Amino acid sequence: MTHHTDPAAPVVEMRGISISFPGVKALDGVDFRMFPGEVHSLMGENGAGKSTLIKALTGVYLIDSGTIALAGEQVAFSGPAQAQAAGISTVYQEVNLLPNLSVAENIMLGREPRRFGAIDWRAMRRRSAELLAGLNLDIDPGSLLGDHSLAVQQLIAIARAIDVQAKVLILDEPTSSLDTDEVAELFRVIRSLKEQGVAILFVSHFLDQVYEICDRLTVLRNGKLVGEYLVEELLRIDLVQKMIGKELTTLDDLEQRARSVVVDESDAALFVNAAKLGRRGAIHPADLPIAAGEVVGLAGLLGSGRTEFARLLGGIDRADTGELTVRGKAIKLRTPRQAISHRIAFSSENRRDEGIVGDLTVRDNIVLALQADRGWFRPIPKRKQDELAQSYIQALNIRPGNPDALVRNLSGGNQQKVLLARWLAIAPRLLILDEPTRGIDIGAKAEIQKLVFTLAENGMSVLFISAELEEVLRLSHRIVVLRDRHVVADLENDGLTVDSLLALIADGSVSVEEPGEADAAAPAVTAGAAVAASATAPAPPTAPTTDETEGGRR
């Protein structure tokens, strides 16, 4: 084919790619292309289909329909090895090299130079040394991989990927474990590869990095293509809007109710107060007061620190700075168990790995936390367990309504309801819900939203995290916005709109060097962001004035 030599032809061209898993359409007719010598980014929230698309390209998943062309030629990979042989190299987020082998062995594994049938160790070391030098890495190829930092290991993984003469290099979240200097080093390497004509797919949820290094980006949402854009032509706020999308609301009345409720914010009613609570590498120290009966929404992109912050409050991870007070008393949370004994429940976003116990029954899953709190020696009587299970199955409309069914056989939405039942059974005063409505159908979503609202009306505090801003706006009395692991705003949900929130999330442009300064910067950001919102977004009917959004606390 003549396409090979044409520099304007895409090196990767995927058309109409669809992939279904049981019950889910992971990709629905997605087009995707990459050009030689460009850095391309694939953007989208969780479940958008980014990794599915990458796995389709690298031969890990077989596609149900659509075509893939590499350098103009149709290909059908039946495994990752074939894709690699064809010039598509992938460096995964989790470095998947062998820590107990040498750097050289890792780089050349499976492609060792041979001489008379035996491995030519000298050639192997020489070739690895050349590759490392190309990346400006001054390390001994004979040293053990495990002795190097994660960042260096990441670069070694890239050296391995380059050695296979890649036409396409896929970097999946390569910077999530790197610090600023290491990121700069990686970017230098990316730029030099780009000059050599390699097409690079850079997947990251750090917007700043995407805007720094990428030329073009493709946005996916819910398995569908939103569009392909040149980075320089797409405003950040528009990007975020495209990633998150807008969903028609089915529960508009809730919104009105949420806003009409007056929360008692006197100190006496303050249930939890986090003061400068933080954890290195997860979330910069931040404040978060939550009153009894208040629903606080955490808004921010994936990786903004929204989950990390919530995990500190739930005792899942330990805070290394700051203080947490529960009803005026300072407490230290070292384990989830301690949080539970203070009636703080944390429902993880990772339902499968951190939520359900799949091989136990619905009943066991519902009583698990309550039973753990009582201790093993005081079992909840069988009759009481059945009552509990039955009442929650009815109240939350769990299907199938069989307490003896194994949880792993339930649908995602019903598993989520079982988890909610588990936490409600301990009668929490603060319920932390991390993405409780992700990946579940619209009906279950509405039920869960309604439940959150009813709970708050009855005096329970709720910390609500969701990637869907409409949902956060609908349910929250107050909204805390996070960006790049900082709290950038803390606002009353009064006159806020999706657009003003988007502005804060995308462009809260604070550059904070020292932990703690985030607080000082926040009010200024609030005002600035509101202006930005009205400037860049089409004005919605209830466009906020600067005065209204300045009602932010702090």
Partner 1 sequence: MSAVIARLVASRLFWPVVMLLALFAINLIAFPGFFAVTVRDGHLFGSLIDILRNGAPTLIIAVGMTLVIATRGIDLSVGAVAAISGAVACSIILGSPEPGSLATVAVAVTVALLISLVLGVWNGFLVAVLGIQPIIATLILMTAGRGVAMLITEGQILTVNSPPFKFLGSGFWFGIPIAVIVAAVVFGAAALITRRTALGMFIESVGINPEASRQAGVRARGLLIAVYTFCAFCAAIAGLILTANTAAADANNTGLFIELDAILAVVIGGTSLAGGRYSLVGTLVGALVIQTLVTTVYTVGIPPIATMVFKAAVVTIVCLLQSPTTAEALRDFRRRLGLRAGKGVVAS
Binding site for partner 1 (CB under 8 A): 314, 316, 335-337, 340-341, 346, 348, 353-360, 364, 368-369, 371-380, 422
Cβ-contact 282, 549 below 8 angstroms: no
Residues 6+ apart with CB under 8 A from 258: 295, 453, 474, 475, 476, 477, 493
Kindly tell me which of 116 and 377 has the beta carbon lying closer to partner 1.
377
Nearest distance in Å: CB 358, partner 1: 6
Nearest distance in Å: CB 419, partner 1: 9
Residue type, 294: E
E strands, 327-426, in order: 329-331, 344-347
Kindly tell me which of 336 and 552 has the beta carbon lying closer to partner 1.
336
- The angle that helices 180-195 and 150-163 make with each other, rounded to 10 degrees, is 10
Nearest distance in Å: CB 364, partner 1: 6
Nearest distance in Å: CB 342, partner 1: 11
CA–CA separation, 264 vs 422, rounded Å? 28
Kindly tell me which of 337 and 450 has the beta carbon lying closer to partner 1.
337
Kindly tell me which of 347 and 476 has the beta carbon lying closer to partner 1.
347
Nearest distance in Å: CB 372, partner 1: 4
Kindly tell me which of 215 and 373 has the beta carbon lying closer to partner 1.
373
Tokens of 350: 């990772």
Nearest distance in Å: CB 408, partner 1: 9
CA–CA separation, 128 vs 436, rounded Å? 47
Nearest distance in Å: CB 313, partner 1: 13
- DSSP run (H or E) holding 343: none
Question: Cα 519 vs. chain centroid, distance in angstroms?
Answer: 24
- Tell me 392's DSSP state: H
Cβ-contact 419, 356 below 8 angstroms: yes
Kindly tell me which of 4 and 334 has the beta carbon lying closer to partner 1.
334
Kindly tell me which of 251 and 282 has the beta carbon lying closer to partner 1.
282
Sign of CA dihedral 5, 42, 283, 553: positive
Nearest distance in Å: CB 46, partner 1: 19
CA–CA separation, 263 vs 57, rounded Å? 51
**Count of residues making up the chain:** 554
Q: Angle 160-161-163 (CA atoms, 0-180°, nearest 5)?
A: 65
Nearest distance in Å: CB 442, partner 1: 26
CA–CA separation, 222 vs 335, rounded Å? 35
Nearest distance in Å: CB 376, partner 1: 5
Kindly tell me which of 188 and 352 has the beta carbon lying closer to partner 1.
352
CA–CA separation, 219 vs 96, rounded Å? 27
Cβ-contact 146, 100 below 8 angstroms: yes
Of 19, 5, 36, 31, nearest to 169 by C-alpha is 36
Kindly tell me which of 159 and 356 has the beta carbon lying closer to partner 1.
356
Cβ-contact 401, 394 below 8 angstroms: yes
Question: Cα 333 vs. chain centroid, distance in angstroms?
Answer: 24
Kindly tell me which of 12 and 316 has the beta carbon lying closer to partner 1.
316
Nearest distance in Å: CB 382, partner 1: 10
- DSSP run (H or E) holding 284: strand 283-291
Kindly tell me which of 200 and 426 has the beta carbon lying closer to partner 1.
426
CB atoms < 10 A from the CB of 442, how many? 12
Tokens of 533: 């919102």
